[in-house]
Amino acid sequence: MRLLERARKEWFMVGIVVAIGAAKLEPSVGVNGGPLKPEITVAYIAVATIFFNSGLSLKTEELTSALVHLKLHLFIQIFTLAFFPAAIWLFLQLLSVTSINEWLLKGLQTVGCMPPPVSSAVILTKAVGGNEAAAIFNSAFGSFLN
């Protein structure tokens, strides 16, 4: 009985293990063109669902006050989408004279140009008591720019 209670309490982790096990047993379900159609469901439906769920937890006052801080949002977008990729590029220029594999450097450059995942940005902002509405706004705006 304790195992069932524990599984109920840790339902999310159990679900992850079940999903990984199912993917291992039948990987063709999740491939492009497969029954789940991840090229559509992940790209459009999952992103929209994340923003919709995040928006449901916000108070209207918080959202409207977050939208007023245009200079802050502009700074965050420039830092995330211009400054950070430029800094990574400079760092990779230094690393390119070493014996590091060229494909590893290309992979680092690709990852350095990507914005942080939406869910991580919102969850970390909420965990430290930050402005969750601003995090959702910036994550949404940044993900649609890419």
pLDDT in tens, 84-95: 889 999 999 999
Supply 74's token pair.
Answer: 């502009």
pLDDT at 89: 92
Query: Residues 56, 12, 27, 110: what is their CA dihedral angle, to the nearest 10 degrees?
Result: 60
pLDDT at 93: 93
Low-confidence stretches of the chain (pLDDT < 70) are 116-121, 137-146
pLDDT at 146: 46
pLDDT in tens, 59-81: 777 777 777 878 888 888 888 88
pLDDT at 142: 56
